[in-house]
Structure 1
């Protein structure tokens, strides 16, 4: 009784309906997979192009997020409370913003008629635009995960290392980052998963050119509108994205900070 609490048992009914609403559509997707042609669908030239582009741009976007996100997370974690709350709110905006709006914002900044259009950069509708769109939507995942881990670890160990004569970079590499490693790893995994699943911002800012800007989500959308890869390949790619999402959730659960901290205390 202590474990179940004292909630009215009737609440289990809407809970089960909500669970079914989340699970049944995914089951229906799996049920539409043509298992006999699954391998051929995934390895078709169009599907491979979309898969290759999604993975390569997702990896590049994740590296960019690491380069930009680690210092940003550290800035937020070490800032005064009021400043940190403002910065955290700014970083969170892309999470609640419709991705299409993000793509439009990037277009208005980097497009020919945008604020930086005078530079002559030909960024929109290129592979670089795909990476930038993925970075825009994925960066908050890494920053917020790492910032929480940095805030939890505190400054005591850093102060001790500084008192023993360690320099700032030594403290950063050998104290700060190792303590926040679980949060960093979780953030990287979520960041990569969000990047390869990005659709809206990529569609508006990068377009949908096969082999250049057509990632897996765009290939799936195009197939169900009667062009590009076959619908069988679209379903196969959807299944691949679903498996990737499940794998990401399992990895995040395995490396969540709470487990690592408690294990460290136990030792």
Structure 2
């Protein structure tokens, strides 16, 4: 029942990758959710579709596109390597990027729906009293959408834990560097006699995902009670 060092590394790396992914996604998700909910501009439909594209594209396609754009010879990746010595392909930072891309739609959708539910009259009242748009956002809108941010964060975290295709294509399956729980399970399944290790990681993955979803529901309800929302 004890995890081997190989399995332990996969679990720790998965938690690390998922945590970094949601840390980056929270400000991006809030910004994009607010933009799609509150602003009208040319290309809004295209931006909305582009954000949700990872939900319908095969994960391998997402990974290939990341490799083309962010790889060492990619359009952006080569520039980052030349000027800042930043490399995403075939290391854990690339796994974070891949997880963030596939989890972004879940984060943005949760936050956007939460912003849509905020009564605009509250924001308008604050504006008429002299509050700037920035102050209105941070004092009125942001506190009211905390439940949506929590839900989006937990969903994105759980999705990042289960990411396989994009990660496999973009950063490969390198033990101790890019091998998360799904990739380790894939390796075990492909090796005769390693079914027990795959089963252990499967159970661990299910437990972590369930705990994430339960915490999301608990935090969201607790925040709603504190805000006086039923």
Task: Give TM-score, length-normalised by structure 2.
Answer: 0.87
Choose from 168, 177, 195 the match for 1:231: 195
Which residue number in structure 2 is paired with residue 63 of structure 1? 23
Cα distance between partner residues in 2 of 1:265 and 1:45: 46
Which residue number in structure 2 is paired with residue 72 of structure 1? 32
SS of structure 2 residue aligned to 1:153 = coil
Say if 1:77 and 1:84, in contact at 8 Å, map to a contact too.
no
The CA deviation at 1:97 is 1.0
Cα distance between partner residues in 1 of 2:77 and 2:177: 22
Say if 2:111 and 2:152, in contact at 8 Å, map to a contact too.
yes
The CA deviation at 1:162 is 1.8
Offset from partner CA, 1:9-63 (integer Å, 9 cap, x none): xxxxxxxxxxxxxxxxxxxxxxxxxxxxx2x1xx311111011111011101001
Gaps of 5+ in 1: 1-37
Cα distance between partner residues in 1 of 2:77 and 2:112: 34
Offset from partner CA, 1:181-221 (integer Å, 9 cap, x none): 11111001001111111111000101111110000110010
Cα distance between partner residues in 1 of 2:219 and 2:72: 43
Cα distance between partner residues in 2 of 1:160 and 1:128: 44
Which residue number in structure 2 is paired with residue 100 of structure 1? 60
Cα distance between partner residues in 2 of 1:92 and 1:107: 19
SS of structure 1 residue aligned to 2:88 = coil
Larger radius of gyration: 1
Cα distance between partner residues in 1 of 2:213 and 2:77: 40
Aligned length: 223
Which residue number in structure 2 is paired with residue 192 of structure 1? 157
Q: Cα RMSD over matched residues?
A: 2.5
